[in-house]
Amino acid sequence: MAPPRTPTLVASPSLWDPVVRLTHWGIAASIVLNALLDEGGSLFHVWVGWTVMALLLMRLVWGAIGPAEARFSAFPPNPLAALRHLRELATGKVRPHPSHNPAGAMMAYALWATLAVVTVTGLIMTGGATPMQVASDKAAVASGDWSALIKDSEGESDEDRSFGKAAEEVHEVAANLLLVLAALHLAGVFLESRALRRNLVAAMLTGHRDK
């Protein structure tokens, strides 16, 4: 007769690893800081932009080499699946997913794409200057006009000025779109948490969820 097995305690399954949580909350904090405390064109704005760029690059690399739940292959963009999930969410009958649900996946890609546009246009506006280089130009910091960091106005062609103006306009539109997407993301997390009867915010904070 085999001896009785000793019951073992099984930990809650790991859902979000430290890199995913760091990049998620770091980007979220940056968006909030820019929306509430920052003024466009300030040195702080540039620091936040470079921080977001670093966090975004980290998350994109992690999406290729990280654990299963963090990889892009775990939540490929699928608009039709996202629409089906939203219909399920409207009825309050949704099933849990090992990574992002289809609607959450589409939102993640939309946020990353918008962050990339904000970052690239910001680099264009500052000529790729680092925060330290920006800080050394007192006139640019005081006025919020970064054109001097790119080249002297006299040597700047009409085409260059038009390109810089277009980048500034796209930057502003993308930044506003980012706030809209963030608000929709929060609404989706709230509804999904209610439907699953599970605190999804806590899972992103601790890295674990209830079974």
- Provide the pLDDT for residue 164: 78
- Residue 131: inside a domain: yes
- Residue 6: inside a domain: no
3-state secondary structure of 79: helix
- Provide the pLDDT for residue 118: 95
Burial of 111 (0-12, 13-18, 19+ CB in 10 A): buried
What total number of domains does the chain contain? Answer: 1
Q: Within its chain, how far is the Cα of 193 from the centroid?
A: 20
C-alpha 23/C-alpha 110 separation (Å) is 16
Alpha-helical runs (H) found in 66-157: 79-91, 102-126, 131-136, 138-143, 147-150
Domain that holds residue 164: 18-206
- Residue 40 DSSP label: T
- Residue 178: inside a domain: yes
The residue whose two tokens read 């690893």 is 17
- Residue 7: inside a domain: no
- Residue 191: inside a domain: yes
- Residue 8: inside a domain: no
- Provide the pLDDT for residue 82: 95
C-alpha 189/C-alpha 41 separation (Å) is 32
- Provide the pLDDT for residue 26: 96
C-alpha 88/C-alpha 154 separation (Å) is 59
- Residue 143: inside a domain: yes
- Provide the pLDDT for residue 36: 79
- Provide the pLDDT for residue 17: 93
- Residue 132: inside a domain: yes
Residue stretches of the chain with pLDDT short of 70: 1-14, 38-41, 137-158, 160, 209-211
**What pTM, to 2 d.p., does this model score?**
0.82
